[in-house]
Chains A and B, each alone.
Chain A
């Protein structure tokens, strides 16, 4: 137990170095605040603006990679201390300010941070929906597939690649594959092709036309056979994925199993039905949250004109406040960074600037809302699940167990967890949360009522000696550390 932790102090701590976090950090530092920005990944950028593993590869020139580089550069130039491979594992109020604790380098080190204001821009994570066979090795999230391709890694197994699910994001993943020169064999989108309504949706947004055309061209470049109006109904295989079954869906999104077709020789099924906000830090700090399917479910409530949450000094930006994509993230990050800096420096932010940013944010969110309406993220699993389907894979809890729990009176996520252990594994409900909510919804409990598994210390699994080192640094001021207090 001989690990020692750093203790850093700052005016504003920013959690997450995606577009929202980097924008927030840069604005706060440029306004004169001392800013520290923590991020879990190897390099700043987050999901969308992630830096490719190969800095001279084809992806490095992409718009997204350039955005990430520019934002990180601008933040550094403004004086932000950027810390990568730092995973927040606990946050607590201390007086008017906050204490944050992070594991460094996957738990090999630990860090405590004392901050006067905090901006949480923790982004989003995949919202996996169960379908028969979804736990077979070879089935991965579309977002995970995109990260793999960007980092230059290989997909789990050789064989055909199927990209499936729904939403604009699916096109973005296809585009990443195309830019990296990787093949996709089948592209399966739940929505039918609707050229007219797509054009109507895009018509008011001329600035997005070229991007949309680029996505379509990239999808063609992957060489994928396209199945619009289809959904994956089953993943098949003995010990790993071998085949994928798809079927056409009707106007209500129900697949017609009698017309299912089988794609054989599949090595990877990359599937995405949307994202959910990462809210562990904001729930730990006690901010108010709400549920809205159009925003990815449970999200942190922040004032659009300041980014402030229900907890004074705590700000939230980007997809922590709801799924919306890169543009609202950037603007909400700027708003939160400016407000947080103003708070700690005892100033009021320039009202003119804040007004125009708020208007810009509203506009960016309107586009996100129309995208979300065009590609509604399904809340229910795409096909009726068999009773024996595994819902919580950490603890091997099946749909039948969950139904029995509801039958016995468990009417919320918390109660189902206790009854069945669903959500008590390493993911603590992060991965199975949407599936559990769907199972509860099917049994008559709407997601807004079912709640979610609230994060407690530690927000993520962290070695005990790292937890100890970080907490000791603040709870016992005389604890020796590795750096200046």
Chain B
């Protein structure tokens, strides 16, 4: 276990995948960042994630950034010998109702226009790719570029690389206050002492608004619950792809289902609730999956994969995700010099983590970062104060 240093070139607050990736990216520029995690690395959203990496049905405007984000994960797997179970198994979005066929066709057409290898499948073609999915689908969309990673091993790898590049990472050290001096950030206070640093990056997941509030900055991030059920191990190949619903609009309001089989053999299926204003202390309270969601999740799974009906359920868990008004991250510099943020994951932050970390490098160091065309796009989409500016205008 590591001692807390008194100073660092930058402090990254929050040891989820965003924080670990940011610490690594900063360390690779030659800085000596310090990553501080309140409890256990990856213990919040990151370790509970299904960690699918892909572009399909995530939004047309953000598509180039997402493609880059996925490429970074694929490159990382290649460069490291893939210790985190990166598996490019593709994604199938099932279509159950005739009116949704047009929705699927529209996504496919628009993504194809951007060069994606997506396709609209007949039920027979879908079943070829997913033999046990014998439920009543009338079609599916298919995106071969979607991959999954093991969320713990992904975090472990990125954390290891961050440390190897010169970052220090300390668990069980919550940040309790931000130090501000002469109108700019000067460091953080923690339960184990103060650290001075010219830069602080907030990657506290769904609770990042509380961290920003320590500097008097209001960030519109609200938590919502995401829940996951896991079955006992099934034979390999029981579920081959990432399975999802063909979404009408995409984004938060459309409802969300994701089903996949982990390398461990467990079948995982997840749903989310609407965002809410959590009561004081909700962050530290252990939550349970609401029975209604268990019912709907099992119904969806067994409607698609009826042969799994008698297989045992093993575990369930609930985590919070951070939701923003337009379902996009807040990533970049805040209106206090030296203070930066990457949060508001909207339930798909694993995918974007490496890409956003590069984006933050530019924010912190004023150099490097994403390729130029993408940097401009990211600056526009992810500007952390975009809502405040809109409100003021």
Contact = CB atoms under 8 A, between A and B. Distances in A.
A424 B263 CA distance: 13
B309 A464 contact: yes
Contacts of B43: 414-415, 418
A107 interface: yes
B299 A408 contact: no
Interface string A425-461: 0101000000000000000000000000010111001
B310 A107 contact: yes
B316 A456 contact: yes
Contacts of B301: 464
Contact of B299 (A395, A419, A468): A468
A467 B294 contact: yes
Contacts of A426: 232, 314
A427 B1 CA distance: 29
A395 B315 CA distance: 15
Given A411-B1, A474-B291, A457 B40 contact: no
B286 interface: yes
B313 A464 contact: yes
A424 B308 CA distance: 20
Contact of A471 (B291, B308, B311): B291
Given A414-B43, A464-B231, A457 B294 contact: yes
Given A415-B43, A418-B47, A456-B288, A463 B316 contact: no
A464 B289 contact: no
Contact of A415 (B40, B169, B291): B40
B295 interface: yes
B5 to A, nearest CB: 15
A419 B309 CA distance: 30
B295 A475 contact: yes
A428 B152 contact: no
Interface residues of A, number: 36
Given A409-B1, A461-B232, A468-B299, A421 B264 contact: yes
B389 interface: no
Given A409-B41, A456-B289, A457-B289, A471 B294 contact: yes
B202 interface: no
Contacts of B2: 409
B125 to A, nearest CB: 26
A324 B170 CA distance: 41
Contact of B314 (A92, A414, A458, A476): A458
B159 interface: yes
Nearest to B266: A424
B290 to A, nearest CB: 9
Contacts of A174: none
A126 interface: no
B131 interface: no
Nearest to A2: B309
A147 B60 CA distance: 62
Interface string B32-47: 0000010111110001
A410 B40 CA distance: 6
A476 B295 contact: yes
Given A408-B159, A415-B40, A463 B309 contact: yes
B172 to A, nearest CB: 6
A314 interface: no
Interface of B is mostly: mixed
B298 interface: yes
Contacts of B309: 1, 463-465
B377 interface: no
B313 A463 contact: yes
Contacts of A468: 294-295, 298-299, 302
B171 interface: yes
A421 B233 CA distance: 13
B350 to A, nearest CB: 15
A391 B306 CA distance: 35
Contacts of B306: 1
Interface string A308-326: 0000000000000000000
A280 interface: no
Nearest to B298: A468
Interface string A394-426: 010000000000111111101100110100101
A454 B302 contact: no
A403 to B, nearest CB: 12
Interface string A286-306: 000000000000000000000
Interface in B122-159: 152, 156, 159
A471 B288 CA distance: 14
A342 interface: no
B336 to A, nearest CB: 29
A418 B295 contact: no
Contacts of A467: 294, 298, 313
B315 A415 contact: no
Given A414-B43, A464-B301, A471-B291, A428 B310 contact: no
For the complex of A and B, 8 pairs with smallest distance between CB atoms: A415-B40, A409-B171, A461-B312, A418-B47, A465-B309, A475-B291, A468-B298, A471-B291
23 contacts: A107-B312, A284-B288, A406-B1, A409-B37, A409-B170, A409-B172, A410-B41, A411-B40, A418-B42, A419-B152, A454-B286, A456-B289, A456-B317, A458-B315, A461-B232, A463-B309, A463-B313, A464-B301, A464-B311, A468-B295, A468-B298, A471-B295, A475-B291
Given A464-B311, A467-B298, A476-B295, 5 more contacts: A1-B302, A408-B41, A409-B37, A409-B172, A418-B42
Interface of B: 1-2, 37, 39-43, 47, 152, 156, 159, 169-172, 231-232, 264, 286, 288-289, 291-292, 294-295, 298-299, 301-302, 306, 308-317
